[in-house]
Amino acid sequence: MRVPATTANLGPGYDCLGLALGLHNEVTLSRADEVQVAIEGHGAEALPRDGSHLVLQAARAAAEAAGEDLPALALHQINRIPLARGLGSSSAAIVGGIVACNELLSLGMSRERMIDIAAEVEGHPDNVAPALLGGLTVCCVIEGRVLVERMTVAPGLSCVVAIPDHEVPTTEARSALPENVPHADAVFNLCRSSLMVAALVSGDFEVLDEATRDRLHQPYRAHLVPGMEDAIDAALGAGAHGACLSGSGPTVAAFVTERGEEVGETMVNAFAQVGVSAEAAILALSSEGAQVFR
């Protein structure tokens, strides 16, 4: 099966908004006599080769939720999503493990149930929902259940990503956030988050400059992502409609309808100005989420 990369938050929609992107990992699970893990691509050297691999942890969570024991499995993973860069690599692993396990063991779980389990394993819902469903997703977690709305983005928009060559662990980026925020900042984000969803669906991309602005997480994470603000400004100056930190970073995502290569180049240059090496990619938005091939 294959699972898309995702970009979460989209600026103001912290822990709520997410988009599926046209970059995919492949996950294959099959029954085996003992646990086997084969990994190609990102993390091939570093990721665990036993049952602690995140795909297998997620598969176990799915089996247990259905009241089954997880049998010994062979995992083959092809990783194209870079790790710990804010592009949903862990969500892709978790969704891959749950959906593949659901198929292999014929657990018969609904997509809603799989999103609940995935969000519990991940700790937040905004990457796992688009990884499973594709498109644009809006999530609310209510006592462990994820209420999710999936929408299709109006045509013509692409996501240019500038991916720094250092990792930012999500746990570190989350612990940088304050316990409380000013009411005015909450209102600032509420307006822009709603504007973001409306603009993505209607195709009124001109408002994305304002709609990607955020006061709830990016300012508190800026010290973890040197060059973030410069890269955002550079993208807007080069013709992006809007730009923001992708998930918890360090990738910066810019939304474009044209001039994608220039936007990518100028973001990479902005990171280079502060001594951070980064690489750019132009990614389509993906209306498909996790897809199973038998």
**Residue 215 binding ligand HSE, by CB under 6 A:** no
Under DSSP, the state recorded for 291 is B
CB of 109 to ligand HSE, least distance (A): 24
Q: How far apart are CA 210 and CA 196, in angstroms?
A: 9
Report how far residue 238's alpha carbon sits from residue 59's, in angstroms, rounded to the nearest whole number. Answer: 43
Please provide the DSSP assignment of 13-82 as one string. -TTTEEEEEEEEEEEEEEE-SS-EEEEEETTTTTS-SSTTSHHHHHHHHHHHHTT-PPPPEEEEEEE-SP
CA distance 153 to 165: 29
* Nearest distance, CB of residue 283 and ligand HSE, angstroms: 16
166 vs 259, which CB is nearer to ligand HSE?
A: 166
**DSSP count for the chain of H helices, then E strands:** 10, 10
Q: Does 247 bind ligand HSE (CB under 6 A)?
A: yes
Contact 139, 125 (CB under 8 A): yes
Contact window for ligand HSE (CB under 6 A) among 8-16, 159-167, 191-199, 208-216: 8-16
Binding ligand HSE (rule: CB under 6 A), the pick from 126, 150, 195, 266 is 126
Q: Determine the Cα–Cα distance for residues 127 and 88; give it in Å rounded to an integer.
A: 6
- Burial profile 169-208: b = 16 or more Cβ within 10 angstroms, e = fewer: ebeebeeeeeeeeeeeeeebbeebbebbbebbeeeebebb
Q: Is 193 in the site for ligand HSE (CB under 6 A)?
A: no
When CB distances to ligand HSE are compared, the closest residue is 247
- Applying CB under 6 A, among 218, 248, 266, 286 the residue interacting with ligand HSE is 248
- The residues facing 45 across adjacent strands are none
Which is closer to ligand HSE, CB of 86 or CB of 130?
86
Contact call for residue 86 and ligand HSE (CB under 6 A): yes
Touching ligand HSE, residues 14-53 (CB under 6 A): 14-15
Nearer to ligand HSE (CB atom), residue 146 or residue 238: 146
Total number of residues that touch ligand HSE (CB under 6 A): 14
**Site track for ligand HSE across 144-183, x = CB under 6 A:** --------------------------x--xx---------
Nearest to ligand HSE of 113, 124 (CB atom): 124
Q: How far is the CB of 20 from ligand HSE (least distance, A)?
A: 14
- Told to check if 89 binds ligand HSE by CB under 6 A, we report no
**Does 155 sit behind a cis peptide bond, omega within 30 degrees of 0 on the bond before it?**
no
Report the SS3 class of residue 137: strand
Among 53, 85, 124, 150, contact with ligand HSE (rule: CB under 6 A): 124
For residue 93, the number of C-alpha atoms closer than 13 Å in the C-beta half-sphere is 27
Nearest to 13 by CA among 146, 127, 163: 127
Residue from 28, 127, 193, 218 in contact with ligand HSE (CB under 6 A): 127
Q: Residues interacting with ligand HSE, by CB under 6 A?
A: 8-9, 14-15, 86, 124, 126-127, 170, 173-174, 217, 247-248
